[in-house]
Amino acid sequence: MCGIFGVYNLPGDANGFRDRALYLSKKLRHRGPDWSGCTVAGNHILCHERLAIVGVESGAQPLTNEDDTLILSVNGEIYNHKALRKMVPADTHFKTQSDCEVILHLYKHIGTDVVKHLDGMFSWILLDTKKNRILAARDPIGITTLYQGWNSKQPGTIYFASELKALNEECDRIIAFPPGHIFDSETGETTRYFEPTWWNGDRIPTNPVDYTLIRESLEKAVRKRLMAEVPYGVLLSGGLDSSLIASIAARESRKIFSNQPLNKQDGDEVDESGVQAWPRLHSFSIGLEGSPDLKAARIAADFLKTVHHEYTFTVQDGLDAVADVVYHLETYDVTTIRASTPMYLLSRKIKAMGVKMVLSGEGADEIFGGYLYFHAAPDAASFHQENVSRVKNLHYADCLRANKSTMAWGVEARVPFLDKAFLEVALNINPEEKVFDKSRGRFEKYILRKAFDTTDDPSAEPYLPDSILWRQKEQFSDGVGYSWIDSLKETTEQRISDEQFAKAADRWPKDTPKTKEAYYYREVFEKWFPQEACTESVVRWIPREDWGCPADPSGRAQKVHDAAYTQ
């Protein structure tokens, strides 16, 4: 991934704004430390901060077509780029080996429908100089981040950037660009292009569970995400989700490197370049000394025979990092900050090793109802509706966390569970198959676990040891060590006085903090982003209070947790 910045329809001479644009784009350089680019065309500017993963030697951006009439700045990866190249005329001249350049040439032939053909994670800005037209698009779920802004003193001017920090000094209105949408200056409208069958949560699916289809769909999702020309690895917490991704990646890496058959399905275009560089999978975990996640990750890594890297941090390390984490996350949401801090610290260690890309397990809990508060769902229909709602809002929470925590250090996180094809399978399963049923021995994410359970076939190679495959859900902020959240609560209790907290509603009438921990994060956020426009893109998440769930987002706040808080 990378950092992108663009301004459409600047008043006056855009060249006069170039230095300012470079300054604002530089605020995103942590996302793309490998190279910078800036193109001025008419009264428009596109900038790019590059993290080179594919087409390393030739993929500098902004990208242009043969006559430079189309200009493109992209943050992301297009996994089906080789298949898409077959959709353009054979005589099309490609200037680079970048997976993103095909967007330019496909747009030339099919216009805005190009976005419907992309399989990947992306945010991009495309300038058509002949039509004086700009397009902006974001991937279906919002794995990549993108913001859009306006300045009331410059009617008609539109700003775009990968992060809020590149816009807050220029714009007095800023929104998070909606995932699965495309903006077209020709119409002035932002329209949704992503229209999956599961989008309407009120339509309760009836498909029976197909364990083979779940397994094969996830394997394919992991396989396509091995596309890279740089060292890569997996984030391994020792929980079910990250361990499954690590297990599949280890298997697929072995197959590709040893030229074993991949059981490709029709249309399964796989770029196998990445595995050739680092054939043995590296895994990374972090936690406080003696944390549940470190112990479980060790077991999983030993079983999978990965090259495992384990890092410990202290509570003080985490506390010292919180202010920087808020700066990079651009949110004051409690659960996001709690979970992001260890991920932020781990990403720094990963970058120090020279690794640029990691696979991660985000999304499974939303898709399958893995969070412990789902135990309180009143019925299967409500369970499913919460699944869909959580997936739709991932760009405010776990996608934001994974993207910004890793990209703070120029590391790209890829999330196979949010593959479009996998979502079609998983979110069209009858929710009766997902709900918890102790009488049948079913608990959170039972059908996902069962899909990778090989005990019925003694000849099959196990994906994971039973202690990992059937481990109870630990939210990342809990699993890194229970004292992490406890210490955050204790520290903020001391830092924020009762007098300050009593006036929270006067200071912040909107999104008033309900705890001193939330108050502290809001205060830090305001120091980094004092402009009123900065709060519009922030969404806080808490479990379903209307289901009788505690307001604290920690998994340990739920009564079903083995180490739940005592009341």
- Using alpha carbons, select from 165, 172, 183 the residue that is nearest to residue 324: 165
445 Rama sector, left if φ>0, alpha if ψ -120 to 50, beta otherwise: left
Q: How crowded is residue 432: how many other Cβ atoms within 10 Å of its Cβ?
A: 17
Pair 193, 180: CB distance under 8 Å: yes
- Using alpha carbons, select from 298, 321, 463 the residue that is nearest to residue 405: 321
CB-based contacts of 188-194 (< 8 A; 24+ apart in sequence): 193/112, 193/115, 193/116, 193/137, 194/140
Question: Does 3 carry a binding-site annotation?
Answer: no
Distance CA(452)–CA(447), nearest Å, equals 9
- Using alpha carbons, select from 234, 131, 542, 544 the residue that is nearest to residue 378: 544
Pair 179, 395: CB distance under 8 Å: yes
- Using alpha carbons, select from 402, 318, 320 the residue that is nearest to residue 366: 402
Q: Give 471's DSSP letter.
A: P
Going by C-beta distance under 8 Å and a sequence separation of 6 or more, which residues neighbour residue 500? 519
Distance CA(389)–CA(367), nearest Å, equals 10
Q: Can you say whether the dihedral through the CA atoms of 376, 382, 383, 386 is positive or negative?
A: negative
Distance CA(222)–CA(500), nearest Å, equals 48
* Residue 2 is among the residues annotated as catalytic for this protein: yes
Exposure pattern of 441-450 as b/e (b: 16+ CB <10 Å)?
A: ebbbbbbbbb
Helix, strand or coil, per DSSP, at residue 38: strand
Q: Give 356's DSSP letter.
A: -
Q: Can you say whether the dihedral through the CA atoms of 499, 501, 504, 505 is positive or negative?
A: negative
Residue 150's φ and ψ, nearest 5 degrees, are -140, 150
Question: Does 238 carry a binding-site annotation?
Answer: no
Question: Does 367 carry a binding-site annotation?
Answer: no
Going by C-beta distance under 8 Å and a sequence separation of 6 or more, which residues neighbour residue 145? 123, 162, 163, 176, 395, 399, 400, 403, 404
- Among candidate residues 2, 47, 100, 399, the one labeled active-site is 2
Question: Does 127 carry a binding-site annotation?
Answer: no
**Pairing of the two strands 189-192 and 181-184:** antiparallel
Question: Does 286 carry a binding-site annotation?
Answer: yes
Q: Give 191's DSSP letter.
A: E
**Residue ranges at the known binding site for L-glutamine:** 99
**Residue ranges at the known binding site for ATP:** 235, 286, 360-361
**Residue ranges at the known binding site:** 99, 235, 286, 360-361
| Catalytic machinery residues | 2
